[in-house]
Amino acid sequence: MSTAPMTALSRPRASNRRPFDALSTRTKSARAARSRWVAARAAGDAKPKAKVAVFVSGGGSNLRALHAAMEDGRVNAEVAVVVSNIPSCGGVEWSRERGIPTLTYPPKKGEDGLTPDALVAQLRDAGVGYVLLAGYLRLIPPQLCRAYEDKMLNIHPALLPAFGGKGMHGHHVHEAVVASGVRFTGPTVHFVNEEFDKGKIVAQRHVRVAPSDTPDDVAANVLRLEHEVFSHVVSALVDGRIRFRDGDGVPVIVGEDGTEE
């Protein structure tokens, strides 16, 4: 990770930018958080690691990529708990082997288990500050959306707002992409609200769809990009480097050198 000096943020910017005093409170607080973070880095005084919950329903390659990025210091966080609706899925098994606590949510129909309020309470008790949906195939309860507003991200394997919404998950997405004839696709990382795939977009990556590509080819190409972009956004989120643009509230990542994307 780079150790950008504190002055990086005060570099001259495009002339049409408003002076700092005119920025919104949210912008100011994001900038202030970043300044504190840069100062802490410069002082060698590392910020404590954020605790995240990762929700999975499948093999968990995004979970593993996030975990690797945390282990090698690219993301200042640790996985405090893994949540799944499928206790036997690859992501949960991998977590158990590493001693990462796991929770089942929602319980199977007709079985006792966590209610939405109990889930939120368990996450709070575990000190979870952020929730990451990495291939979780259930709708998130409103209680969780409210508890983690602007602190919960999802990764979707297509360029939203296209190819999103109910039923658009896994191979369905890539089949629809190939059938549509679009020339580009790629993952989207977005904040989560109460509607499927409708939260504010934070970052996207794109890859070409070749005429000979099958849905499986597209899925493999997109998955590689997912692993990079998700860690990139989570790093910004836990560092406090996402600001919300004045007027429309679009999230903008502030890089370690002060650039915005």
Site residues for ligand GRF per CB under 6 A: 56, 58-62, 91, 134-135, 155-157, 169-170, 223, 226
Tokens of 143: 């209680």
Q: Taking the complex as a whole, how short is the minimal distance between the CB of residue 108 and ligand GRF, in angstroms?
A: 20
Q: Taking the complex as a whole, how short is the minimal distance between the CB of residue 63 and ligand GRF, in angstroms?
A: 6
Catalytic residue, chosen from 67, 156, 227, 232, is 156
Return the H-helix or E-strand segment holding 111: none
Contacts (Cβ under 8 Å, ≥6 apart) of 130: 50, 51, 52, 53, 77, 148, 151, 152, 153, 234, 237, 238
215 versus 258: smaller Cβ distance to ligand GRF: 215
Question: 156 an active-site residue?
Answer: yes
82 versus 253: smaller Cβ distance to ligand GRF: 82
Q: Taking the complex as a whole, how short is the minimal distance between the CB of residue 135 and ligand GRF, in angstroms?
A: 3
Residue nearest to ligand GRF (CB): 135
61 versus 95: smaller Cβ distance to ligand GRF: 61
Q: Taking the complex as a whole, how short is the minimal distance between the CB of residue 118 and ligand GRF, in angstroms?
A: 25
* Backbone angle region of 170, left / alpha / beta, with phi > 0 → left and psi within -120 to 50 → alpha: left
State the Cα–Cα distance between residues 71 and 129, nearest whole angstrom.
18
38 versus 134: smaller Cβ distance to ligand GRF: 134
Tokens of 6: 């504190």
DSSP string, 129-167: -EEEESS--SPPPHHHHHHTTTSEEEEESS-TTTT-STT
State the Cα–Cα distance between residues 235 and 68, nearest whole angstrom.
12
State the Cα–Cα distance between residues 15 and 62, nearest whole angstrom.
40
Active site residues: 156
